Amino acid sequence: MNLALLGFATIAAFITLIMTKRLSAIVALIAIPIIAGLLVPGRPDLGGMIVEGILQVAPIALLLSFAILFFGIMMDAGLFDPLVRRILHLVGNDPLRIAIGTAALSALVSVDGDGTTTALIVITALLPVYRSIGMNPLILATLLGSTNAIMNFVPWGGPAARAAAALKIDLLSDLFLPLLPAMAAGLLAAFGLAWWFGVTERRRLGWQPAQMQHGAAVEHETPPERRPHLFWPNLLLTLALMAAMFTGIASLPVLMMGAFAIAVTLNYPSLQVQRERINAHANNVVMVALLIFAAGSLTGIMEGTGMLDAMAQALVRGIPDAMGPYLAPVTAVLSLPITFLMSNDAYYFGIVPVLAEAATNFGIPPEAIGRASMMGQPIHQLSPLLAPVYLACGLLGVEVADVQRFALKYAALISLVLTLGAILTGAIPLAVS
């Protein structure tokens, strides 16, 4: 059997089944490649291939599992509460300050890499302010999605983790660090967009500086798991973790595991309360870990049977020689529409490995394709396949279609700024010689 044809059929079946919701992503990642592997002549050792693939992605699964727990503990303890209160006090009733405050709060809270948590915190805090002065809630949705997408480039964010798992590259050095200048450019564009929104809302609402009032915040109940007296120790622990990650004094999974152990003991010494806090985040941990291990199963079989290499060779033969050296920026541009129409699982585990394997034939390293594949994330934030979109729209009381019509052009602009920034700083090579 033609390995390339079998490989493309495997990917097509995987994408179709999860897009039509016939199978969950986890089941599809496991079952489809096993079925395909059984069709490969020569009775390949599928078990060995699966184990090999899982071993390669195990560090990523460890990192994400303990990152979810660590940042979950920080959220539970209220690390971001003073920041939220301060921003709400500063923005007052000025549309310009509110728009910029929305971008700032969204970017800072998004550091945990969880779009759902970010949406809950930002919308709960700021929607009453928007309503009190009559600002357009679609602005809140747009700024929230754009800044969250950029901050999700962090090593424990979904896109970066999936790209690293699919391509078996290092999260920190191969993906995240080279993208920092592009992220800065994207955040600058997001804050510029917030400024423009604020100016237009000032004009529409007829707001004048003489109307400025501070402290537009709405008081919320304090959950029992909050630990406000431990704010400074929690902040120092988080900053120390970030510094340790960037200096590379230990591997990322080890650092995150250690930070979690300190955080949960510091904030919740009682073993019963520790179990409650871990249980509160256990669902997210299990789902992410299973997804990464299942992805290792797919890539292990696709590589071990030779299907991935055969697919790449077939793709290379179909790419004009003149276009091959530009495959990295082409991938970046294609990521805009593809990530809107596909789930991250289907895209990163089904499409990106094939593009990366093909790119190696033109001298483009896999990590360059991995970075390029992330450029469409601001567009992906508006995908109808993304659960946080429905959560955010439900909290805002608006229709998903209205948010998409309003925000899509701005998300595309942010994606193009990210791409241009990555190209200018060398994170994405414009062409290889």
Encode the chain (433 residues) as per-residue pLDDT tens digits: 588 888 888 888 887 887 677 888 788 889 999 999 998 887 788 899 999 888 887 887 888 788 878 888 988 888 877 877 777 777 777 899 999 999 998 998 887 666 666 777 788 778 878 888 889 999 999 999 999 999 988 887 778 888 888 888 887 888 888 999 999 999 999 999 999 999 999 999 888 876 666 654 445 567 788 888 999 999 999 889 888 877 778 888 898 899 999 999 999 999 999 999 999 888 878 887 888 888 888 888 988 888 877 877 777 677 777 788 899 999 999 888 888 867 777 788 888 888 898 888 888 999 999 999 999 999 988 886 665 676 678 778 888 778 888 999 999 999 999 999 999 999 999 988 7
First-to-last C-alpha distance (Å) of the chain: 35
- Cα 142-152-298 angle, rounded to 5 deg: 120
Spatial distance between the Cα atoms of 250 and 261, rounded to a whole number of angstroms: 16
| CA dist., res. 65 & res. 192, Å (int) | 34
- Structural tokens at position 6: 């079998």
At a CB cut-off of 8 Å and minimum separation 6, what does 325 contact?
A: 362, 363, 364, 431, 432, 433
Structure tokens at 303: 């590589």
Is 308 in contact with 354 (CB distance < 8 Å)? yes
Instruction: Quote the CA–CA distance of 219 and 153 in Å, as a whole number.
Output: 32
Enter the tokens of residue 90: 């500063």
397-406: long-range contacts (C-beta < 8 A, 24 or more apart)?
A: 397/137, 398/137, 398/138, 398/141, 402/138, 403/138, 403/141, 403/142, 406/138, 406/141, 406/142
CA distances for 142 relative to 99, 105, 116, 146, 185, angstroms: 10, 13, 15, 6, 17
Nearest to 89 by CA among 208, 261, 251, 212: 212
